[in-house]
Amino acid sequence: MTDDLRPDEQATDHVDGGPVPGIPPDQSEWDDSLPIQSPWRIAWRRFKRHRLAFGGLIFVIILVAIAILAPILAPQDPNVVDVSASRNPPSADHLLGTDSAGRDVLSRLIFGSRVSLTVGVAAALSAAGLGTLLGLLAGVAGGWIDAIIMRVVDVFLSFPSLMLILLLVAVLGPSVVTIIVVIAFFEWPTACRIVRQMALSIKEQDFVLAARATGSSRWRIMRKHVAPGVLSPLTVVATLLSAGAILLEAALSFLGLGVKQPQASWGGMLEEAQSLTILKEMPWLWIPPGAIIALTVLAINFIGDGLRDALDPRQQM
């Protein structure tokens, strides 16, 4: 079985060094007077050449700014109920109209970014952290520890995780923290597999053999040699995990089992659209939140894609 859920190579990958449409030949804006380029600078320059990834990064930066500045940017209080202004179409007062409780859709959209980004970042970091820990342990220790961890991974990957996440959130009670913990608990195996695979291949490298020959302990090898090598694929995995976590949170809230009303979340805003009347007559209630979820996830996926290209050491500069 292939050892990762995501393909290693992307269509925009150019292993053969051929021309890639949409990416102009490298016109380095780099200052040539700098003789040494660190790996991170090289990666950053390569990342910038991937236009969609760079665009995605800018989109996410703007979104983070919106989330932080939400109280200043939002034209109205997102939770103020005004029954007399229920389901109003977009107007000068309410640029994106109002929902069934008369709340301003644009303001709720702005505040909703906080939930999505928090869940995306926190769940992805926790899942990646747990996955890295177990993946390193499996890869470096080997033997029966490896066998047990990998069987546990197989077990986790056999379950349709959404069903278990829904169950746990329903039992524990929906809150942002619960959602983050539960998503992390079921999404770590992807990171674990990839980290283990990287650790296994690094373990066989000459410099690790040299370290072992000169008497470095297993723990030191893991810390000094294997962990840094795992970092770049892990960055990619964590990025993709955060896109997945945002989608999961949106799905939970859409099903009414995620973030509780009246707190604004993008998925929760789409919940109302399950009624055909709203779906048909009031598109301002559901198209903007749906589109913003899709754009955010797309932007993050493009960033992950760009990182994959930029951090791949096999690739030509």
Residues near other proteins, by CB under 8 A: 1-2, 5, 7-12, 14, 16, 18-22, 52, 151-152, 154-155, 157-164, 166-167, 170-171, 243, 247, 250-251, 254-255, 257, 267, 270, 273-274, 276, 279-280, 283, 286, 290-291, 293-294, 297-298, 301-302, 305
Which DSSP string corresponds to 200-239? HHHHTSHHHHHHHHTT--HHHHIIIIIHHHHHHHHHHHHH
Token pair listed for 206: 């000459």
CB within 8 A of 283, min separation 6: which ones?
none
Q: Which amino acid is at 110?
A: I
To the nearest whole angstrom, how small is the minimum distance from the Cβ of residue 31 to other proteins?
30
Residue among 59 and 227 whose Cβ is closer to other proteins:
59
Residue closer to other proteins (CB basis): 202 or 238? 238
**Smallest gap from residue 287 Cβ to other proteins (A):** 8
Inter-residue long-range contacts of 200-205, CB under 8 Å, 24+ positions, other chains counted? 200/139, 202/226, 202/229, 202/230, 203/139, 203/140
CB burial of 88-112 (b: ≥16 within 10 Å; e: otherwise) equals beeeeebbbbbbebbbbbbbbbbbb
CB of 135 or CB of 306, closer to other proteins: 306
- Residue 93 or 281: the one with the smaller Cβ distance to other proteins is 281
What is the smallest separation between the CB atom of 275 and other proteins, expressed in angstroms?
11
CB of 50 to other proteins, least distance (A): 12
Closest CA to 134 of 150, 158, 154: 150
Q: Nearer to other proteins by C-beta: 47 or 202? A: 47
Contact 197, 4 (CB under 8 A): yes
What's the min distance (Å) between Cβ of 186 and other proteins? 10
